[in-house]
């Protein structure tokens, strides 16, 4: 007899929903870490000669079918220039075949374009529209990363100067008009981008928020919070223009860009406070 499995019981948020309707007292809630481990084990399990200690193909399929439809979807919001590529590589290792990216197009874990998210999509990462995806996944776990707003704007500016993406109107304007950093920052599309991606949600609505400036501790928090075994980090786009202390920004540029991104400054401070509190709770 199949054991019904509730959506995973790891950290909830203000956006978390009630358990599935109709769950009985016999229902067992499986922690996210265990589900992740089962997925990794099933993905790697084979049927060697004799099959000793390994499941049969039929058992693997049955276990996967039991777990897949009832696990909560993870929506990983990638705000540009906040370590999103690095984080995506970690998520791809954790979710394997159930991992999908959403940018200009939808791609699977092998980078192949697919027309839509399939039923087995359990982690969607990218520049996603929360209002478009949450109605289909009302109990999803939300994850994201943030970065000090002035440095984030400077990073996007220098990145697009080096590797333009002319599909984006702001990037086209940068190159067509040869914008300076300040002129770039003054464009409406360059202002308060983190707040725009949060789409009306707040830090409390997210199960995890990492800080770009605390990459290592943030990843430790992520693995610990969801009971996942650590995955070696493979760093993504490392901009050669960025020094050890960040991008060179004058005091005047710092002040104006911060003022242009006042909403993002408030959001970042709120996320940084939460991160500090979670660290204190762990060490306390």
pTM: 0.75
Q: Is residue 181 assigned to a domain? A: yes
* Mean predicted lDDT score pLDDT of the chain: 82
Give the pLDDT band of residue 119 (cuts 50, 70, 90): confident
Q: Per-residue pLDDT tens for 138-177?
A: 999 999 999 999 999 999 999 999 999 999 999 999 999 9
Q: Is residue 197 assigned to a domain? A: yes
Average pLDDT over residues 71-79: 94
Tell me, what CATH number does 107's domain have? Answer: 3.40.50
pLDDT of residue 235: 61
pLDDT of residue 1: 31
Give the pLDDT band of residue 61 (cuts 50, 70, 90): low
pLDDT of 43 above 80 = no
| Number of domains present in the structure of the chain | 1
**Main-chain phi, psi angles of 99, to 5 degrees:** -100, 135
Q: Is residue 118 assigned to a domain? A: yes
Average pLDDT over residues 77-94: 95
Give the pLDDT band of residue 79 (cuts 50, 70, 90): very high
pLDDT of residue 120: 84
**Who has greater pLDDT, 257 or 72?**
257
Give the pLDDT band of residue 7 (cuts 50, 70, 90): very low
**Who has greater pLDDT, 54 or 233?**
233
CA atoms of 109 and 281, how far apart (whole Å): 35
Q: Is residue 15 assigned to a domain? A: no
**Who has greater pLDDT, 192 or 48?**
192
Instruction: Write out the chain in H/E/C secondary structure.
Output: CCCCEECCCCCCCCCCCCCCCCCCCCCEECCHHHHHHHHHHHHHCCCCCCCCCCCCHHHHHHHHHHHHHHCCCEEEECCCCCCHHHHHHHHHHHHHHHEEEECCCEECCCCCEECCCCCCCCEEEECCCHHHHCCCCCCCEEEEEECCHHHHHHHHHHHHHHCCCCCCHHHHHHHHCCCCHHHHHCCHHHCCHHHHHHCCCCHHHCCEEEEHHHHHHHHHHHHHHCCCCCCCCCCCCCCCCCECCECCCCHHHHHHHHHHCHHHHHHHHHHHHHHHHHHHHHHC
pLDDT of 14 above 80 = no
Closest CA to 227 of 32, 92, 16: 32
Domain span holding position 85: 72-284
Give the pLDDT band of residue 26 (cuts 50, 70, 90): very low
pLDDT of 236 above 70 = no
Q: Lowest-pLDDT range, 60-74, 213-227, 265-279?
A: 60-74
pLDDT of residue 246: 87
Q: Is residue 129 assigned to a domain? A: yes
Q: Is residue 206 assigned to a domain? A: yes
Average pLDDT over residues 48-62: 53
Give the pLDDT band of residue 10 (cuts 50, 70, 90): very low
Q: Is residue 134 assigned to a domain? A: yes
pLDDT of 245 above 80 = no
CA atoms of 112 and 103, how far apart (whole Å): 13
Q: Is residue 249 assigned to a domain? A: yes
pLDDT of residue 280: 80
């Amino acid at each position: 007899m199949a054991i019904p499995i509730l959506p995973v019981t790891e950290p909830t948020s203000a956006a978390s929903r009630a358990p599935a309707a109709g769950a009985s007292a016999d229902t067992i809630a499986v922690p996210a870490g265990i589900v992740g481990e089962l997925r990794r084990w099933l993905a790697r399990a084979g049927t060697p000669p004799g099959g000793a200690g390994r499941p049969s193909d039929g058992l693997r399929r049955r276990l996967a079918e039991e777990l897949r439809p009832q696990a909560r979807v993870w929506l990983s919001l990638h705000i540009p220039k906040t370590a999103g590529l690095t984080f995506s590589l970690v998520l791809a290792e954790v979710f394997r075949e159930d991992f999908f990216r959403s940018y200009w197009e939808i791609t699977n874990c092998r980078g192949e374009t697919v027309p839509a998210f399939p039923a087995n999509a359990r982690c969607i990462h990218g520049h996603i529209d929360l209002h478009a995806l949450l109605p289909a996944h009302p109990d999803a776990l939300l994850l994201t990363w943030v970065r000090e707003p002035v440095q984030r704007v400077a990073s996007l500016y220098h990145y697009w100067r080096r590797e333009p993406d002319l599909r984006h109107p702001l990037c086209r304007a940068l190159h067509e008009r040869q914008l300076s950093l300040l002129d770039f920052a003054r464009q409406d599309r360059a202002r308060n981008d983190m707040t725009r991606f949060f789409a009306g949600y707040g830090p409390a609505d997210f199960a995890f928020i990492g800080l770009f400036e605390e990459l290592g501790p943030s990843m430790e928090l992520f693995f610990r919070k969801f009971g996942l075994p650590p995955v070696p980090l493979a760093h993504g786009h490392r901009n050669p223009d960025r020094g050890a202390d960040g991008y060179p920004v004058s005091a005047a540029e710092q002040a104006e860009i911060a003022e242009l991104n006042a909403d993002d400054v408030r959001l970042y401070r709120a996320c940084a406070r939460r991160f500090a509190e979670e660290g204190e709770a762990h060490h306390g």
